[in-house]
Amino acid sequence: MKAIAEAPSKAIITGEHFVVHGAWALAAALPLRVRVEVSQAPSLAIRSDRFEGRDSPELRPVSRVVEGMARQFSVTPSVRVSISSEIPEGAGLGSSAATMVAVASAFSRLHSLGLKVDELVRCSMVGERFIHGRPSGIDPTVCAYGGVVLFKRGSKPRRLSMDGTRSLIITYSGEKRSTKGQIGRVSVMRERFPGLFAMLAGAVSELGFTAAEKLRQGDMEGLGRVLAINQAALETIGVSNEAINGIVDLLGSLGCYGAKLTGAGGGGSVVAVAPKAKEKSIVSGLSARGFETFKVKVPTEGVRSWLER
Ligand code: PMV
């Protein structure tokens, strides 16, 4: 018997970094997925289509999640975990969070723990903390819940109700970066300019609610303006870079309503919105310049798991 779980990737629409320090942020699950299989084994063994061995730095957080859950629920950690992923890694699209959530969900299913979504998030945070040090929890929350989520540290996540789907354009800069390093840069900036940081965090919280409303109404032009304002705040705190700014400008020149970095920045990916009629030509324009870029529809479902013989 094996348990299988699939979890979506994510894009932060507004509020990354500020969310670590208590601001509201808006994030959407994206349809690129990670698939995890968990079955009984003589000892804990982890395989991935990208990394080898449970002691490889990328897979150590997975061991932490399994061992943490085994301890907490008094079940055996001796399982074989197999991971296969469509999510580019280090791209700000939640590859690690989706993996932790899927591992927690499959492990819970195999041992019939019956954990609810918020409990899966809590279990997967053990791995996220191991990677980032001080994660806000937004990534595993949106990967677990799915849909579009307004998130604030310590508050119950608010899932947005939407009729119909909306399109986002995601472009990967090709530059991997360390989320932990980026969070550290922001903390230094916050210590140097506490008043400015607090003011920006307040404004970015407001942007989250405005973005949620624009997205719900399907007002993509309005949402584009919100993205552009949020990008300016992210530049101010020093987490954008030349590659990201170049992509944001390019998206603007191709006719997008607005664009911003998504995730930790310093590389990673850009999220943008555009008039329907231009989406196709924007995606092909960016592909022609060598960027991995795709249009995605939101909302999409969160983690799900099942048993197979
Ligand atoms: O996991 P990433 O690289 O997409 O970034 C997560 C977003 C941050 O706000 C930078 C960190 C966090 O834990 O909220």
In tens digits, the chain (309 residues) has pLDDT values of 999 999 999 999 999 999 999 999 999 999 999 999 999 999 999 999 987 766 677 789 999 999 999 999 999 999 999 999 999 988 999 999 999 999 999 999 999 999 999 999 999 999 999 988 889 999 999 999 999 999 999 999 999 999 999 999 999 999 988 888 999 999 999 999 999 999 999 999 999 999 999 999 999 999 999 999 999 999 999 999 999 999 999 999 999 999 999 999 999 999 999 999 999 999 999 999 999 999 999 999 999 999 999
pTM for the whole structure:
0.97
Look at residue 50 in the predicted model and tell me its pLDDT.
84
Using the mean position of ligand 1's atoms as its centre, give its distance from the Cα of residue 85 in Å. Answer: 19
Q: Which fold has domain 166-298?
A: Alpha-Beta Plaits (3.30.70)
**Cα separations (Å) of 245 from 172, 240, 265, 268, 279?**
12, 7, 11, 12, 20
CATH 3.30.70.890 residue ranges in the chain? Answer: 166-298
25 lines ligand 1 (CB under 6 A): no
Look at residue 178 in the predicted model and tell me its pLDDT.
86
Using the mean position of ligand 1's atoms as its centre, give its distance from the Cα of residue 39 in Å. Answer: 30
17 lines ligand 1 (CB under 6 A): yes
Using the mean position of ligand 1's atoms as its centre, give its distance from the Cα of residue 145 in Å. Answer: 17
Number of neighbours of residue 161 by Cβ within 10 angstroms: 9
CATH number of 2-160+301-308: 3.30.230.10
Own/partner contacts of 224-227, CB < 8 Å, gap of 24 or more, are 224/256, 224/257, 224/258, 224/259, 224/272, 224/273, 224/274, 225/257, 225/258, 226/14, 226/258, 227/13, 227/14, 227/257, 227/258, 227/259, 227/260, 227/271, 227/272, 227/273
How far is the C-alpha of 223 from the C-alpha of 212, rounded, in Å?
Answer: 8
Using the mean position of ligand 1's atoms as its centre, give its distance from the Cα of residue 111 in Å. Answer: 30
Using the mean position of ligand 1's atoms as its centre, give its distance from the Cα of residue 135 in Å. Answer: 7
10 lines ligand 1 (CB under 6 A): no
Cβ atoms of residues 189 and 233 within 8 Å: no
Closest ligand 1 atom to Cα of 182: 10
Take residue 28 and report the two structure tokens written for it: 């959407």
Q: Which residue has the tokens 């975990």?
A: 81
266 lines ligand 1 (CB under 6 A): no
264 lines ligand 1 (CB under 6 A): yes
128 lines ligand 1 (CB under 6 A): no
Nearest CA to ligand 1 atom 10: 264
263 lines ligand 1 (CB under 6 A): yes
Nearest residue to 8 (alpha-carbon basis) of 38, 39, 35: 35
CATH 3.30.230.10 residue ranges in the chain? Answer: 2-160+301-308
